[in-house]
Structures are given as C-alpha cells and as structure tokens.
Amino acid sequence: MKNYFKHDEWLIIEEGFNPSYNRVSESVFSIGNGKIGQRANFEEQYSGDSLQGSYVAGVYYPDKTRVGWWKNGYPEYFAKVPNATNWIGLNININGIPLNLATCKLNSFRRVLNMKEGLLMREFEAILENGDIIKVTSTRFCHLHKSSIGAIEYNITPLSSSSKIEIESYLDGDIENEDSNYDHKFWEEVSQTVELNRSCLAVKTLKTNFIVATASETFLSLNGKEVKSNFSQNTKSKYVSVTTNCQLAQGETLSINKYTATISSLDYQAEKISETAALLCKEASSTGFATLKKEQAAAWLTHWNESDIIIVGDIAAQQAIRFNIFQLNQTYTGEDARLNIGPKGFTGEKYGGSTYWDTEAYCLPFYQATAGTQVAKNLLIYRYNHLAKAIQNAEKLGFTDGAALYPMVTMNGEECHNEWEITFEEIHRNGAIAYAIFDYIKYTDDQQYLAQYGLEVLIGIARFWAQRFTWSNHREMYVLLGVTGPNEFENNVNNNWYTSKMGCWCLRYCKESIDYLKDNNPEAWDRIENKTKFEAKELQKWMQIDTNMYYPFDQELNIFLQQDGFLDKEQLTVSDLLPSERPIVEHWSWDRILRSVFIKQADVLQGIYFFEDEFDKESIKRHFEYYEPRTVHESSLSPCVHSILASKIGNYDKAYSFYLRTSRLDLDNYNNDTRDGLHITSMAGTWMSIVKGFAGMRVLNNQLEFTPFLPEKWQEFSFKIRFRKTLLKVSVSHLNCSIEQLEGEKIEIKINSENSQTKGVTSHA
C-alpha cells in the first residue's frame, strides 16, 4: 500500500491500526542488533493475525526437506533460523479484562520506528469491553552494543476510572515456525528458574543442540517512582512468568520495565549459559532503562555518522534510504565470521535465515564502503571457512579433484535449499563468490587476502567450472548445459549467457591471481600449490575453455541472448500484461511462466552490471532496452541493478523510478509480500543505486572515480565512504560534486573523467 506509512526523514510512522495490514507493519517495524532480532509483535496479548518472530543469529534447525521423488544430490534438510523464545511478552489485565487490541476499540494508535536512535515505540488509547479507557505508551529496543540485551518500557494510564492492573511478564519458548515443513516444533526445554521478579528459560534446538538462554527481570514504578511489588511465579513446559498487580487511580501512570538477556551456546559455555544470561540481565537492569536508551542512541549515532546518506529535497527518498541503511546495520555488524545475512534478516521466516548469493552479489559493497575492511573481510572468510564443505558438495554431485561448488542456500557450508526445481542448478552463485573476492581486493587493496584465504577459494571454484562446461562436438565449442541463471523463471536451460560468462571470468581471474601470487608472493604460492595439489596443466585447460566458449548471440538485435532458444518465445513485453495478472508468480501456472519471455530479475543485465567495463555505452543501452521491458522485477534484487545501469546509460528518469521502487519496496509493499519479512539483502542494492548509480562510483585502474548526476527532484545528496585508508564525504548538488577527505592520506580521484587530488575539498562543476 503506497504512502501507508507517513513520510518523515528519521521516523517510520503508522497512524491508526489496520489489523489486515498488521503482518506488513510487524515486518517494517522490526528491530535487531546483529545477534538478536525480532518482528514488531505487540508486548500485550493479541489474538488477531500476527506472525510472531524472535530470532537468534547463527542458531538453526535442519528441517527435513519436502521432496516428492528423491534424487541423488538433493539436500537432506532446509536449515531454518527458528523462531525463538518470545521475550517481549506482557499479559495485561485491567479490572479483570485482558488487554487485546483485537477485541477492544481504539481511539488512537501510533507505531513509530525511530531510526536515528534505534527504538520501536507505540502509543494507543483503547476502550475495553467494559467501557474502561486506557492509554498505553511503549518503547523497546535491542541494544546495539550489548548485543544480548532487549529492554522494554511499557506505560499504562487508566483514563476513565481507577483500575486494578494485573501484569504477567513471561518468557515463552514453546514456539512454532509457520514454515515448518512437517509442523514440527524445533525446541525442547533445558532448564527454567523463576524467583521474585526474575526468570530464566533455556531451550535447545532439536537435532542441532544449540542452547538459547533468556533471562528476564521485571520492575514496576508508579508515576515515576519504583514500586516494591510482590510477584507470584508460574511455570509450565518451556514457559516461565512472574505476575504482580497494582491499583491505579484514574490518570495515574504505571510503568513496567522489562529487561532481558538472550544468548546462545554459539558464544557462551553451555553449562553456565543460564547463569550468564541472568548476570547480563542483572547488569542491564542495574544500568536502568534511561541509561541503556541513551547508550542505544549514542551507538546508532556512530553508525549514522559513517553510513548515512543525506538527501535534500525529497522526504520519501530520504526516509527510504535511511530505512534500508537502518535495517542493514541492525542485521549484520560484521564482528563474527560465522554469521551472515539472510534475505529476510531477522524479520521473517521465509528463506530460513540462511545465506544466499545475495551476500556476495549485493551486500558486500555496502559493508565494505560503510563499515570498513574487517567487516567485509568477515563476509568473505565465512565462505573460506566453508571451502571444505563446498568441495564435498561438489563431490556429491560427481565432481572431483578439489572442485568446489558453494551452496545456493546454507547455514554451515552444506547445501540446504528447499526448492530443488529452481535452486539446484543455480550454479552461478559460485561466480558471485569469486567476484566478491575480486571486488573486495579491488576496493580495499587488501592484496594479502589472496594469499591468506582468497586463492584457495578461487582454485576450488575454477576447478568446478572447468569440469562443469562441456565440449560440444557439434558446435566445436564449449557449452554449458542444464543451468538456471539468476532469472528463476527459466529452469534447466542450456547456455545461460550470464552463467557461462561468469564461469569463464572465474577461470581467467583465478589464473591472473595465481600469476600475481607467483610474482609477488612465491612462498604463499608454493604453500597453496601444495595444499591444493595444483597442476600447471589445469591452467591450459582453463584458457582453452575460455577461448572456445559458446555464447548465444543474435546478430540482428546485436545482443547476447539470455540462453539458447530465447527468441523462440513469444516476444511480448511487460506492457502486454494485465495488471490483474501481476505478479505472474501468483497468477500463472509454473508451466506458463517457464514458457514465457518474462524475466524475474536481472540476468543478462546482471552480467553487464558486473562486467560493465567490457561493454561500451551503446551496447549497454541496447541490452538494457531489450531486456528491461521483458522484466517483471518479481525479485527484490532486480530494480537496483536496473537503476544502476539506467544511471550509466543516462536514462535518469528510469534510474530514479527504479531507485524509488527498490528503496520503498517494503515501505510501500511493492511486491505485496512484505508481510513475510523485509527484503534485507536487496536493501544493499538500494544503497548501490545511489552510490554506484547516481554518484557513479567505480574503481577503475586502481583509482576511485565518480560520474554523478542529481535526480531532478533532489537539491543535493551526500554520503560518506571508506575507501582503502581514507574516509571521504561525497556531495552532489546542481552546481557541483565535491569530495571532502575526512581521514587518511590524500588520494587522486576522478570526477567526470578528470583527475583531481583531494585537498580537503575537491569541487567539480
């Protein structure tokens, strides 16, 4: 729904409660801190439609896959970051009547996400079934630096009469996942303790045995003064609570403060995990809500100082980019190379919370430019640590000699997708992982990475491609059979141009990297050569493949074709579709989709985006103008790539409209699927649409350059990036593009192809 949330530079505001839109709002108002995260479920009970969601990073359950006819090579399980202990719960009874927004009338309702300070807030006035009117305001957050801590302040004011308020503050680990393949529950209880106002619950995932402990302390105060209350305690299986009550005169305000600490056995010793959680919780409650909240605002200020994009003159665009940056920063903080970025982050169950090619193809540039080298490096090391498993994955499919096929979907390096028809043959992900190494080294200049980690991964990947391409006697060329490109509306096709292009590029890049190491770090090369049992003849084969690769091309159109036979399809364009047929994935049979010309997301254009330097502007334009009208953008990953390419070819109106589409995808629920969770990974694409698209940032010949333009509606935009050892502020206005160097040694930067050294400020009209 467009414009459902009010436009504001720093806030997302929902005015009025719309139960049928509640799941969308729960996604949009999600909060997290890289370790824990949750949907914006209500603290008090709610019997209306809701998707409850609290998640703990890195903790997963291997749900058995659902497949009709089993074939060799199918994954055994689909990993899910399971919905974990609900720590926000407060059951409130007012004069014996449960507070439940599904059963009372609302005089007012406002939900706010304060992105500047990292707070989720609500305020409403409700008329209960007996006519009592009460006002509630609440604030909660997941502490950005004390990553186990969740804190809630919940204020209740009876407006119409004196009231007896009963409060049950609980931890509920008896949780279900809506997308469980066989309706199984994923948790069993380990321990529970409850005493006075404190409780602690430890639960364990079945099969994987991750323990998650959550401790909680609850306090009351009346009109700002702490009340010493008596609590009674309650327990049942996987559930603990403390209950108390308080008599309020009309107009008095009762505040409930709930502090929680949630930790997992990924980070803490399992034997002492409940004690540790209780201790962390105690520390938080002693610090107090007001101080924790100040710390939260300060932590977010630091993030914003580094990663904000300021847009002058367009509030909808400003709000949207901040929303995207906010969600990215609360999903991944980059301290732990075991963690990664699920397509939905901590905002829903879809995609299982697992890692996809999205990380390398979309997310890396954002983190490497805004959070710095180590954060980006951890994303790459994640895959390095999975190399042995990638080799095993390839072996399971019949590949040999150290060939590595990274999974399309993974938690621990094993392939674990749930949708074999599509995902099985999307081997292009192997290319994105190699490309990310290339991009990281190019951007950060961390040449050491190749010797330390990168080259082993590249060799495994190159070996895979060398075995996956097939020599065709008929064509007397190499071909690529039975693949699915990024466009998932085609399955198991021959010679998908993007995948072949990517595969050959990997062979070349790996060879270049070997040559580089031989020349610059022969010791490292010796070590890697031995470790990988590398043989020189492998290089010859790679180059032979590369020079003899078949790419589908149409002379008349003068473009590369997405795959063999693409022109046999009925050549419709998206303008031929009725609005009622869209999204086609919801309205058409799979058979019809596969036969149609319609493209889910950038495919050939994804390749042109990655390998832009190999194409002149005219050629980029030709490809864009052929493929874009046939693209339905039913993947969130699509509009951003189109926006960047549209900027490149000077189609600024399209660049801007794709920017709005990508940046407001969830705020305006463009694809009608925000209820399932936010499109976190494509949010990094939104950032790229501005930085690589509108500002035209590239690293070419070892030099940073910008080719900026300003969208018509904007007066100015500016952002900061870390590039190698520098911190730069880039501002683009109608008059000029200026680059201010805030840290590091002066470097040469090109603006609109002209060289200039940053001397504090560099300006180009």
Is the Cα dihedral 673, 676, 678, 679 positive or negative? negative
DSSP letter string, 324-344: HHHHHHHH--SS-TT----TT
* Shortest spacing between CB 487 and ligand BGC, in angstroms: 8
352 binds ligand BGC (CB under 6 A): no
| Shortest CB 26 distance to ligand BGC, Å | 20
CB of 625 to ligand BGC, least distance (A): 23
Among 437, 461, 294, 412, smallest CA distance to 361 is for: 437
| 75 belongs to the binding site for ligand BGC (CB under 6 A) | no
Task: Enumerate residues 474-503 that contact ligand BGC by CB under 6 A.
Answer: 486, 488
What is the per-residue burial (b if ≥16 Cβ within 10 Å, else e) of 283-294? ebbebebeebbe
Distances (CA, A) of 485 to 356, 492, 501, 546: 14, 9, 11, 19
CB-based contacts of 106, cutoff 8 Å, min separation 6: 16, 17, 124, 125, 126, 127
Is residue 440 at the binding interface for ligand BGC, with CB under 6 A as the rule?
A: no
Question: Pick the catalytic residue: 414, 425, 488, 705?
Answer: 488
List the interface residues with ligand BGC, window 673-702 (CB under 6 A): 681
3-state per-residue secondary structure call for 384-437: HCCHHHHHHHHHHCCCCCCCCCCCCCECCCCCCCCCHHHHCCCCCHHHHHHHHH
Strand 11-15 to 698-700 pairing: unpaired
Question: Of all residues in this chain, which one has the CB nearest to ligand BGC in the complex?
Answer: 343
> What is the smallest separation between the CB atom of 585 and ligand BGC, expressed in angstroms?
9
Instruction: Pick the binder of ligand BGC from 351, 449, 453, 534 (CB under 6 A).
Output: 351
Rule CB under 6 A: is residue 346 a binding residue for ligand BGC? no
Query: With respect to ligand BGC, which residue has the nearer C-beta, 401 or 419?
Result: 419
Phi, psi (degrees; rounded to nearest 5) at 667: -65, -35
Q: Which listed range, 93-101, 110-118, 350-358, 746-754, lies at the site for ligand BGC (CB under 6 A)?
A: 350-358
Within 629-648, the residues that bind ligand BGC by CB under 6 A are: 635, 637
Pairing of strands 716-723, 309-312: antiparallel
Tokens of 81: 């970051």
Whole-number minimum distance, CB 729 to ligand BGC, in Å? Answer: 32
**601 binds ligand BGC, rule: CB under 6 A:** yes
Write the binding mask 306 to 345 for ligand BGC: x where contact by CB under 6 A, - elsewhere: -------------------------------------x--
The distance of closest approach from Cβ of residue 638 to ligand BGC in the complex, given in angstroms and rounded to an integer, is 8
Which window, 287-295, 353-361, 550-558, 707-715, contacts ligand BGC (CB under 6 A)? Answer: 353-361
Question: For ligand BGC, which residue of 153, 314, 349, 358 counts as binding (CB under 6 A)?
Answer: 358
Using CA atoms, how far residue 268 sits from 568, 651, 723, in Å, is 58, 52, 35
Instruction: Indicate whether 353 belongs to the interface with ligand BGC (CB under 6 A).
Output: no
Residue 351 CB, shortest distance to ligand BGC, in Å, is 5
> Cβ distance 423 to 409 under 8 Å?
yes
Does 153 interact with ligand BGC (rule: CB under 6 A)? no
CA distance 575 to 485: 24
Q: With beta carbons less than 8 A apart as the criterion, state whether 653 and 679 touch.
A: no
Stretch that binds ligand BGC, among 16-24, 120-128, 163-171, 354-362 (CB under 6 A): 354-362
108 vs 642: CA distance, rounded Å: 41
- Nearer to ligand BGC among residue 261 and residue 683 (C-beta): 683
Binding to ligand BGC, residues 738-757 (CB under 6 A): none
* Tokens found for residue 360: 């390398």
426 is catalytic: no
Bridge partner residues of 261 (DSSP): 149, 215
Under the criterion CB under 6 A, does residue 356 sit at the interface with ligand BGC? yes
**Is residue 443 a contact partner of residue 723, using CB atoms and an 8 Å limit?**
yes
Catalytically active residues are 488
List of residues contacting ligand BGC (CB under 6 A): 343, 351, 356-358, 486, 488, 600-601, 635, 637, 681
